[in-house]
Amino acid sequence: MKVVCPYCRKEARCIDSIFIYKTKSYGYMWFCDCVKDFAYVGCKKGTAVPMGTLANKNLRRWRKVVHITFDSLWNGKNERLMSRDDAYSWLSQKMGISSDRCHIAMFNEDQCWKAYTLSLEKLREELICKSGRDGR
């Protein structure tokens, strides 16, 4: 399998994640050292298949924030607002991308911002409707 780094356009290397995390291995990951804080992406458990695209430190932070916000729609601690499938279907439609491309691990920074703001708006809308303060 060939994975290309989006920052330098060179081929990434498949490594054991202990190289990044130092104390524990979580399996394989794809890695490139072309940027100061490295670009990497984890692999599906037990494989060398990347879960998305390589990301630098800033993009990795964005993806975590988006996951926290978006996952609240379908995996809320107190109450689920929709199913996981419905949430991803809603997000792909709102972002204008196909469902097979609607994975946060594939998003760039602009897509992360869009998914984050859409998710916040949806959470706000759902919570206002549930509280009965929507003026209806």
- Domain spans in the chain, listed from the N-terminal domain onward: 1-54, 57-131
For residue 75, what pLDDT is reported?
87
CA neighbours closer than 13 Å in the CB half-sphere of residue 130? 10
Contact 74, 86 (CB under 8 A): yes
Instruction: Dump pLDDT digits (tens) for 27-52.
Output: 999 999 998 889 999 999 999 999 99
For residue 41, what pLDDT is reported?
97
The length of the chain, given as a count of residues? 136
Structure tokens at 43: 């692999």
Contact 38, 31 (CB under 8 A): yes
Instruction: Dump pLDDT digits (tens) for 57-74.
Output: 999 999 999 999 999 999
Instruction: Dump pLDDT digits (tens) for 74-118.
Output: 986 657 788 999 999 999 999 999 999 999 999 999 999 999 999
Tell how strand 28-32 and strand 13-16 pair up.
antiparallel
